[in-house]
Amino acid sequence: MKAKKRYLLLLVSVAFLALCVLGVNRLKKGGSEGAENWKRRRKRLSDDQYKDPRWLREGGVERPGSGGVRGSACRLETCFDFSRCSSYPYKHYIHPVDDKVKMSENYKKVLDILRTSPFHTDDPDEACLFILSLDTLDRDKLSDVGFVGNMPSRLANLPLWNGGMNHLVFNLYSGTYPDYTEDLGFDIGQAMLAKASIAHENYRDGFDVSIPLFHSVHPERGGMPGKVISDRFPVIHRYFLAFKGKRYVYGIGSDTRNSLHHLHNGQDIVLVTTCKHGKNWKELKDDRCDRDNQEYDR
């Protein structure tokens, strides 16, 4: 099958997977009354109130799911306002872009695809789901490409952030060398998380979405038709399995990648790794590093 808008299929599916869990009947439960409350509440907010997401939870009109449930306890039943999704099709809204804040090419592609979706709206009152215009894909502090600092204050200044309610946050990389813990550097509050390589213990079932890791050179849309000319199976290739990448001599992920050499035979299974990662890899290198680096650079 010809490739057609790969990002659109991936990201739109991710954005609305959580909404389909409880079914259309649950989504209609809030009705038009909840939507009208939202509009009236927005008109009543002053600039200062808008900057404080606690107002919507404590001083404003109470909404379904606004009982203060936070973080790991969040589920659709407790941290999602279904009254905003009373009409079909369900729309998503992207926060206005701040040109003064840097954004990676990867996240630009994500937003471009979402904007061209038939489910996109420029009216937040019509939105069921909200997408940040702040780049959250790379949360490694050592990254000089897409890391955006001061996220807590930036989120607090977003008029519609509302503690993350009805928001979907995208992330590919989190934490930093050498441990790479799943630390985003900010509190996502009641937002859903669409994340690559998410740990099982951090995944909130029925709320978060696990997505594949995609490279920065991944095309925004499908290009020319593929070159497959036969449906012969099994496919005859020179290599059965191949991987070339960095391994971590210390920290999370090291156990798995440090064991790849056991499968490497240099013929139909080629798994080569380098220890050259981080600033102090030489001090932490193991007995295999010199040999692995030589094989990697060959």
Please say if the pLDDT value at position 20 is more than 60: no
Q: What is the mean pLDDT of residues 9-30?
A: 50
Confidence (pLDDT) at 15: 55
Q: For 225-275, how does the pLDDT look when each residue is reduced to its tens digit (9 = 90+)?
A: 666 566 565 667 788 888 888 888 777 667 778 888 899 998 999 999 999
CA 54, distance to chain mean position in Å, is 25
Adjacent-strand bridge partners of 195: 171, 210
Q: For 166-175, how does the pLDDT look when each residue is reduced to its tens digit (9 = 90+)?
A: 999 999 998 8
> CA-to-CA distance for 76 and 129, rounded, in angstroms?
13
pTM above 0.75, yes or no: no
Q: For 93-135, how does the pLDDT look when each residue is reduced to its tens digit (9 = 90+)?
A: 999 999 999 999 999 999 999 999 999 999 999 999 999 999 9
Q: For 137-187, how does the pLDDT look when each residue is reduced to its tens digit (9 = 90+)?
A: 999 888 877 899 999 999 999 999 999 999 999 999 988 777 778 889 999
Residue boundaries of the structural domains of the chain: 6-210, 241-297
> CA-to-CA distance for 12 and 16, rounded, in angstroms?
6
> CA-to-CA distance for 115 and 73, rounded, in angstroms?
31
